[in-house]
Amino acid sequence: MSHAAEHPVLRHANPSLDLVLERVVPVPRELVWRAWTEPSLMTQWFTPAPWKTVDAELDLRPGGIFRTVMQSPEGQNIDSEGCILEVVDGERLVWTSALRPGYRARTRAEVDETPFFFTAVITLESVPEGTRYTARAIHADEDGATRHREMGFHAGWGAALDQLVALMSRS
C-alpha cells in the first residue's frame, strides 16, 4: 500500500466534496517540490496565464503561512492567505484557505465574503516517467466543491501544472 493511500485525508476521500487533478509529468519529483515550495519559482507558474502570481510567501511548517497574490489581466490583485497543515519533504504539502497562519480561525467578515474554503493536498510520487502529481482540493460541502469546479478547477490547476512543467523542464 502506498503512503498516499495510508494518509487519513486521502483514505476518507469523497468524490462529491473533493476535486482531484492527477497526472504523470516528465519532471523529477525534487524539481516539482522546489516549484511548490520556493516562492521565487511559485511566482513564475502558480496562476494560469493570462493571470499571474506577483507575490508568494511560504513558511514550510505546520501553522506556517501559505500566501499568494494573484493579479488579473486588468491589474487587480487578489491576496490569498492560508495555513500550512503538513509538510512531508519532497512528498506532500497540505494547506488550507479555511485558516489563517498560526491555525487562527477566519473572522466572520472573511467567512461571509468568501465563496468557499478548501484544503489542498499536493502529493508527489517518483515514477519512471518523472512524477505522479496529485492535487486534491477538499471542500466542506457540495456547494463549495461545485463553485470551485465551475470556476475552472481542472482547467486552471491543469494549466498551472503545465506552466510548472515548462518552467522546471528548463532547469
> pLDDT band for position 7 (50/70/90)?
low
The residue type at 146: T
Cα–Cα distance list, 133 to 34, 70, 109 (Å): 13, 23, 35
For the chain, count helices (H), then strands (E): 7, 9
Does 5 fall in a domain?
no
> pLDDT band for position 2 (50/70/90)?
very low
- Domain carrying residue 118: 18-169
Please state whether the peptide bond connecting residue 39 to the residue before it is cis, i.e. omega within 30 degrees of 0: no
pTM of the predicted protein model: 0.90
Number of neighbours of residue 132 by Cβ within 10 angstroms:
18
Phi, then psi, of 114 in degrees rounded to 5: -105, 125
Does 9 fall in a domain?
no
CATH of the domain at 49: 3.30.530.20
Sign of CA dihedral 121, 52, 79, 151: negative
- pLDDT per position as a tens digit, 106-138: 999 988 888 889 999 999 999 999 999 999 999
Average pLDDT over residues 48-62: 97
Report the mean per-residue pLDDT for the chain.
Answer: 92
Of 171, 147, 168, 166, which is closest to residue 49 (Cα–Cα)? 166
Residue 21 pLDDT greater than 50, yes or no? yes
The three-class DSSP label of residue 50 is: coil
Does 145 fall in a domain?
yes
